[in-house]
Structures are given as C-alpha cells and as structure tokens.
Amino acid sequence: MSRKFLLLPNFTKALPVLLCSAGLLLVTNQGFAQPVMQAGKLTSLVRTADGIAIETEHAHVALTVFSPGVIRVRMDKKALGADFSYAVIAKPGKTDFQLNELEDILVLKTAALQVKIQKRPFSVRFETPDGILINQDEPGLSNAWIGDEVSSYKTLQEGERFIGLGEKTGNLDRRGSAYTNWNTDAFRYSGETDPLYASIPFYIGIHHGMSYGIFFDNSYQTDFNFGASNKRFSSFSAQGGELDYYFIFQPRVADIIHTYTELTGRMPLPPLWSLGYQQNRWSYYPEAEVMRIAHTLREKKIPADGITLDIHYMDGYRVFTWDKQAFSNPRGMVDKLADLGFKTTVIVDPGIKIDPDYATYVRGMQQNVFLRYADGTPYSGEVWPGWVHFPDFTRAATRAWWQAEVASYAKQGVAGLWNDMNEISTWGQKTPNNILFDYDGHITTHKQGRNVYALQMARASHEGMKQATGERPFILSRSGYAGLQRYAAIWTGDNTADEEHMLLGIRLLNSLGLSGMPFTGMDIGGFTGTPTPGLYARWMQIGAFTPYFRNHAASDSRSSEPWTYGEDVLNISRNYINLRYQLIPYLYSCFYQAATSGMPIMRSLAIDYTHDEQIYSRYYQNQYMFGDAFLVAPFASSKEFGRLYLPQGDWYDLYSDQLEHGRQAKALELHLERLPVYVKAGSIVTTQSLIQSTAQQPDDTLFIHIYHGPQGSSVSYYEDDGKSYDYQNGQYYKRQINFIPEHREIQFGAVEGKHTSKFHKLKILLHGFHDVGSVELDDKTLPVSMHRAGFLGKGDKELNLPGVTIANSAGKITLKY
C-alpha cells in the first residue's frame, strides 16, 4: 500500500507555546488570536451588597448570592451587559454571607454552602459548609472562550449522574451523553434525535449522596456534555453571550426543583376542564364531523372535556379566521359543544400569510410587528399558508397586537389555544441567522432570539386570552424555553405510533417534570403511523396517568378514537378514562402542589429515590410516580412478562390491595386490560363519583382512600371554582389531611379559604387496616363496615359517616381507630 504525505514547512520555531497563568494559550509572534482563551488570574475585586465583582486578565466576573443555597455566576470577555432574562423572574434576597480573602483564594460562605474562588488562575469550587466538594471547575480548563463560544468545564465526579435538561431523548441518567439546545421541528423524531422542540438548560447532578442543580440562562444555542467522548469533565457552553449560570445546592432533588421554579416561576392553576380527557385529530372538519365525534363520546359514555381543532378549521390556514363553508357559525358550534360539556381548543400558528386582503396581516404591517432583516425588510418564510411573515414576540408592542388578535377567539367562546410550529418552523427548516429580534429593547439576531421565540408567543397567547375572558386560559405549546411553565403546558410533538416511542414519551415527560414543567403530555396513540389495538389500549392506560391527556392522530393515519379499535379496546380505554375522572380531586390537588411548590405531577423516581441505583436501570427507568401516591410501571403491550422494581417502602397493588415490600425486583405477568399501578403505603387518595365531564357536578360525597403504612402521610386537599382567579382573593377550600399511624389517628385540619366545597359528605375507605372494628369521632363510637367497596377492587374496610359534613366543617376532626 502506498501512502502520500503532505510535507509542511517547519514552523515550530516560529510558533512558541507559552504556558501562562491563564492556562495553555497558543500565541504566535505574528500576533494571531489565541484559539482558547481563559479568564486568567484575578486582578481586582470589590465586595457588593449581594456578592463580589471581579476582574481578571481576560474577563469580568460577578458572583451574586441569591439565597443561602443559590449562587449566580456571570462572566464575559467584556464588561457585563444589561441584566436581562426572559426566564428568571426572581430577584436576589437579602442573604448574610461572609467573604474572606486569603493569599491564593477567596472564600464566600453562606449558611448552606461555601464558594472557594482560586485567584491564579480564576476558577470556582462549590463545597458544603464543612468543606465537602459538591462541584468545581475542572483544573486547567475552568471557563474558556473559543471565539464567541463560551464554556464552563466541570470536574466529572466519581459515580456522578445527571438528570433533567428538559425535553431530551435517551436514558434517565444522562452520563456519557451530550445534547444541544436549539428549538427544532423534529417531525417523526427517534429515540436518539437531538435537539427536539424545546430548550430548558437546567440539569441536576448527583454524586456521593448529594445533589445540585445548574441552570445556564443563555438563549443562544447551548451544548451540554456529560462525559461524552471524554472521561475528564462535564461541560456546558453557548455559541454567544455570557457565561451566566445559577448554582443550586439543596438537600433533596425536590428542593432543587422547588428552588429552580422560584427562579423561573411556577405554573398558575389551570382551568379544571384541562385535566379531563381531550379528543383531537388532524383534522376534525367540517362542523358535522366535530359534532359527530362529540355526540359519539357522550353516547358511548366516554368521559371527555375537550375537542381540539387542527389547521383545517381556518380559511386557507390563515390564523384568526374560520373556513366559512366548513364552519359557517363558529360561535354556534362552540356553544353546542359547551352544552354537551366540551371546551373547544384551536390550533394557532405564528406565520401570518402575506395577503393584502387578510385583516390580521394588514394590521400587522401597519403596526410593524414582524421580524425583519437589518435593512428593514420583513422576513418571509414558507409554511402552511404559503409565504408568511412572523411576529416578533420579543417586542412588547407585538405581544400587545397579538393579544388583541387573540381576543377574536375568546369572543367565539374558544377556551384553549394550541401554539404550534413555533420553533420557528418553516419549510426548509433553516431560518436565517441575520434576522433581527427586538429582545425587549436589547436588539439581537436569530442566534439569540430563536430559543425564546415560543416562550414569548405563549406569553402573548396566555395574556391575550386571560384579558379577553377574565378566566384562566389553557395554552398548549410545542416549543419553549425555561420559564414556559408560567404560561403554557407542553406536549412532546410529532411522535410515532410504536412501542418504543410510547416509552420514550414517558422519559421525556419525566425529564420535563425534573426541569420545572409540570403540565406535560404526549400524543396518545402516536401522531404518525397506526398503532396496533394492543398498543393503543396500553397508551390510553398510560395517558390516564399523565398530566395532559390528549389523543391525537395525523391526517394520513387511521381514525384513532377509542371506539375504532374494537369493543375490547373501547372497554379498556373507557375504564381508564373513568378512573381519571374519579381521580380528579386527587389530581387537582396535585396541580395545586405544582403551582405552589413546582413539584411535577408526573415524577421520575429520581425525585424521591435519588440514590437508589436500581431506578436508573434501563429495566426500571420508565417507572414514575403520579403525584405522591401512585407508582406507574409502563410496559410495551407486546410483552407477556415485565420486570418491576419497587423502591423503599411498602406498596399496595391498586387493583387487589395485595401488599408488597419495597427494595425488591420482581417479574410480572402482564395483562393488556391492566396497567401495573401500585399505591405507596401511607398514602391518602381523594376521589369522587364518576362524571362525564368536569362541567357535570359529582355526587356530594368525597371519598378518602387511606393506605395503611408505618410512615403515614400528610396531604393538602384543595378545591376552588376551577375557572376564575378568585382563589387569589381567598376563594378556595383547602384542608390538611393527616394519617398518623403511631397515634392511630386520621386528622382533618381546619378549613382554609372562603370557598364552599362541592362535597358535603365524606366516605373513608381504609386499605390494609386489618385490626380496625370501630372508630371514635367526637367521643362517639362508629362501626366500620366490611364489604367490597374498595378502590378499583377489593378494599378491606369502609368507614361511612352518613350525615356527617366533615368536608365543610370548620373545626379540626380526629378519627381514632
């Protein structure tokens, strides 16, 4: 074999390698730029009211103490710019901290952690107050620039795991993988596709019994490397802008999520109807087809709350219009659906057709709302309506214009807006980088504006519907950035009807929950392709245990309503939708918890069982908690046997009440009619009678299921009117329910709030209480009846208190058994 060699001149003598305090820098005597530039040594520092301002040889740095467990690090080659963020809404709190300067290091110390800042070269190390390493810049690499790209390199700890990072494919533990944040229309994505639709640059690191979070608040394209193709470091980088990240240290993963959502905001309480089952298709049209679907759902006793209209309801895909032939009287149709107990959601795309006879376009041009090139020409892209302009949602005046346009839907009775194609998506999928974004007065290009575009569209949609109706809107978005939870729910885009995609969707939803997004869903049944009857049945079961429960199918797929797969699948689907509606009191209280604490509804086991290595196994990583009580174990419908892992504690089979001990793996024989679900011992689950939509009032009895266990529990039961903002003025009903096994007591705390509960009677169902024959209530002894009245199966004992209005009693009540 012959080889050809390219002979190069010997430039070695002309290219000296200089080792200096800034790290390894390549410098030429011709004055070429340094390929990798680090911050260099510290040259000055000033203590500020909430941190330190530092200058180094090549950088300007600010460390801000946001709270005892949160330190913000900002760094740039030039003076730090305006402090502006679309994601972070919190301000630094007044936090006591100490700053000590030693010869080689600075030590900044709060009650929760200490930060050691090396002077030569500059680098940062985060420790516990007693000096145990949490996270540190990798020595010799630290923070660096390659051109405009800025990176932070962190030492890869022994056994370190990484979770979160939002909508990302792959395993629960992201160790050994790398990811890019660049909002992308990822049609028919696979289990390895990256990036996807949304960017949430927040992850949680886990090692040596500790957890920490890092939120990298930079809307340029960002890249995260968790030990991919190297064994030395993890890193995060951005293609432009500052190195700007928040380091969060808290005792538990749940506390880290709580703190992250303090920074970026929490979801508002959603309208109650949005928790119900939603039926969708690309597309239901004309009006007669929409009404046929609605009437069939009611005739077949399939509870449902929503009908969603896809792009064919519009006149030539022009947003804010209706096809006059297919939908001659939109308000009349929406009212008829409302009479049947359905709310109407419509799709809304950002592209505005270039058409001088189109009123929305004309108003947009008059008000100068569209993205433009540097020469002032509006950017044109091609999408469903043809050639369109795109509103610049990073401009306040544009958001106000959009809010006024959105009001037309509210006037027609529409209750929900589905923001689609908002990555931005265009045919060709290559939006030019030289488009200018206002960025609320900080004019920038597509490079920085793209990832926040959908966030600001959701903001405008949310505020527009809220102003127009005075009620809580439902906004669904395909794309977004950190902080999206303040305005919208998110679903996982155009998935595929196969078994692996169903399980991938679960991991995506769990990861979104770890990343501050509680209201999440996927297209049940798969958007593209046609599921087998078994796959559809299993997906519908899982859908009942997801926050946003929507069935959706593409136009070139077969009809995908529950009755289209045969009577057996219809019965399975209806059973689990029925269960969903019985669980509405429990689920609404979970949403209240999400709105007040940031805790997701659908929870990776990494939240509560962080340091149990089994939960990261590929066999068990799809399992999750649904609220505090339910452990859901999803399996492909094609499998006859599955491997289940029950983490620490005791667990009850939802259907039989059989008790299982935790920290064990077991084989399960799988049956299509039942999704494996377990209830954590000590749990309290509230349910109601079956209804066909949330517009229907349930019976006046609230059912309280209590599962015996040594740990007990405490839950906040919550109600309000489910639609208005009156809860912000005290119009809510809240009550703490405590199960205290060591005292053999069930306590109902005093009522908080001014709202009157819809329930006037209480029925308590006891699971696993084998030695209870009676209870004491207000010094009266009441018998406990025993019959088949359990939760979805055989319950051990039922406590029925006829005529006792516990749900509305203002005083504390204690039941002793």
Strands 701-707 and 761-767: parallel
The two structure tokens encoding residue 569: 């699948």
The residue behind tokens 């939509």 is 693
- The rounded Cα 335 to chain-centroid distance in angstroms is 32
Q: How many residues does the chain have?
A: 817
Residue 772, classified by CB atoms within 10 Å of its CB into exposed (0-12), middle (13-18) or buried (19+), is middle
Handedness of CA 533, 537, 538, 540 (dihedral sign): positive
DSSP letters of 643-674?
Answer: EEEE-SSEEEETTT--EEESSEEEEEE-BTTB
184 vs 197: CA distance, rounded Å: 5
- Helix, strand or coil, per DSSP, at residue 604: strand
Q: With H, G, I as helix, E, B as strand and everything else as coil, classify residue 98.
A: strand
Residue 335 and residue 341: Cα distance in Å, rounded? Answer: 10
CA 334 from centroid of its chain's CA atoms: 30
What kind and span of H or E run contains 44? Answer: strand 42-48
> Any idea what DSSP says for residue 693?
S
Residue 707, CA distances (Å) to 48, 320, 364, 768 in order: 53, 50, 58, 6
Cβ atoms of 650 and 683 within 8 Å: the answer is no
Task: Name, in order, each residue with C-beta under 8 angstroms of 7's C-beta and a sequence gap of 6 or more.
Answer: none
According to the 3-state scheme, what is the secondary structure of 404-433? HHHHHHHHCCCCEEEECCCCCCCCCCCCCC
Conformational region of residue 159, where left means phi above 0, alpha means psi within -120 to 50, and beta covers everything else: left
Phi, psi angles (nearest 5°) of residue 633:
-120, 90
Long-range contact set of residues 772-779: C-beta below 8 Å, sequence gap at least 24: 772/797, 772/817, 774/817, 775/799, 775/815, 775/816, 775/817, 776/815, 776/816, 776/817, 777/801, 777/804, 777/813, 777/815, 778/813
> In 3D, which of 610, 636, 633 has the Cα closest to residue 623?
633
Q: CA–CA separation, 388 vs 392, rounded Å?
A: 13
CB neighbours (10 Å) of residue 811? 9
Q: Do 51 and 65 meet the contact criterion of CB atoms below 8 Å apart?
A: yes
List active site positions: 420, 423, 494
Furthest CA-CA distance within the chain: 100
- Is 112:68 a contact under the CB 8 Å cutoff? yes
Burial profile 76-100: b = 16 or more Cβ within 10 angstroms, e = fewer: beeeeeeeebbbbebeeeebebebe
Q: Measured between alpha carbons, how far is 252 from 254 in angstroms, rounded to an integer? A: 5
Structure tokens at 498: 């196969």
Please, are residues 678 and 816 in contact by the beta-carbon 8 Å criterion?
Answer: no
Beta bridge partners of 18: 25
**Angle, vertex CA 159, rays to CA 112 and CA 610, nearest 5:** 60
Query: What is the 8-class DSSP label of residue 549?
Result: E
User: How far apart are the C-alpha atoms of 151 and 142, rounded to whole Å?
Assistant: 8
Q: Read off the DSSP letter of residue 496.
A: B
Q: What residue has token string 């207000």?
A: 778
